[in-house]
Structure 1
């Protein structure tokens, strides 16, 4: 078929992306409560791998989203064409939002918390306020990123379920994971990086990673024909 050659690349990107995202997440410090700014900023400033961990996360997320774009192109050949095209469009928007999020979180916030911790006492209050402002921008981007990722997963999951060349349950998992990820984005918008947001977001992210791996394995075996 027209896009048959995309299948090996889809599987490679799926496995590579989940591996990079997992590695970046493992490097990310997670001891301080992210919703208590002073504690979180001190932990971030002390972390030597902050930029690397966020670049790994971005590379992983881009690879995973790229894999889903390739899958959507394959699904355009079947009865789910409209859903597949919509999913691919949302995926591209997700890539841009992820890059903006990591620019703020992985680069700008790190620079601000480093300056805050190194500054003499008279300057600390102003620098903390500036770092806190960057944090709020990060929260806004994280919320929008989760919303877009959730929409993308739910839309592509719907396309998979309609298409019928892969087991219907794979589509339903994508829809469920997408809804949960969208919900986490809404909770982040209202409460920041709160315990409820993390309790929804972390399992949802793991579910989407497992979903992508399952899609990669099944797509390779069945060749979507």
Structure 2
């Protein structure tokens, strides 16, 4: 056996236990004082933020690492129903990372450029700049909603795989399903109400569950790794 599954399990552990805190810290660095649904207040706060690029880069890297952890996790399931669900989850993982890249391009780059131009403008140019920034904001909201829906469906699929696997405790699958369903609610709320208080509270709560689940999955993969052979079967 070539030990591929063992190596992936250990790499997945590192990706999970680094990616989850990185995503959390980067999100906490994001400006959060103003109501994100109040365009003018939010734009003023964003324009004054000096960590904008780094917080968004950290968020994107965190999502990439969590995606890598899911790819590694898929290699740890025993052949059969659990592995089949995990393979379907890989499609969602790739789609979620692509969606996250699009979101960060809009939010982390385009929106920052527009709010900076708005902050520096005056007169008619300032009015035009704020309308342009608002348009970019709506694209961001749409992408954020779709990312939540994509990632939550992926988590639900992995939760089902975990519930059907004898290699993972069922409660881990339950936590994954809970986080995924929470993100479904958050994504739907964002699509309907933008970055409203309700949408943000749902997103924060569901994200906290997901990050805890990711770390727990990472720890379990490290424990599981010595028992795996190259083809994913137990030794």
Q: Same fold (TM over 0.5)?
A: yes
Other structure's SS at 1:5 match: helix
Total equivalences in the alignment: 225
- Name structure 2 gaps, 5 residues minimum: 229-233
Q: Is the 8 A contact 1:78 1:163 kept in 2?
A: no
| 1:55 Cα deviation from its structure 2 partner | 0.3
Matches within 5 A, 1:89-168: 89-168=91-170
Residue of structure 2 in register with 1:15 after alignment: 17
| 1:122 Cα deviation from its structure 2 partner | 2.2
Residue 31 of structure 2 is aligned to residue 29 of structure 1 = yes
Residue of structure 1 in register with 2:231 after alignment: none
Residue of structure 1 in register with 2:74 after alignment: 72
Matches within 5 A, 1:184-223: 184-223=186-225
| 1:212 Cα deviation from its structure 2 partner | 0.7
| 1:76 Cα deviation from its structure 2 partner | 6.0
Residue of structure 2 in register with 1:180 after alignment: 182
Deviations 1:84-124 (A, max 9, x none): 11111100000000000000000000000000010022211
For normalisation by structure 1, the TM-score amounts to 0.97
For normalisation by structure 2, the TM-score amounts to 0.93
- How far, CA to CA, are the matches of 1:13 and 1:219 in structure 2? 11
Query: Measured at CA, do residues 44 and 76 of structure 1 come closer, stay the same or move farther in structure 2, by a change above 3 Å?
Result: farther
Other structure's SS at 2:35 match: coil
- Name structure 1 gaps, 5 residues minimum: none
Query: Measured at CA, do residues 52 and 2 of structure 1 come closer, stay the same or move farther in structure 2, by a change above 3 Å?
Result: closer
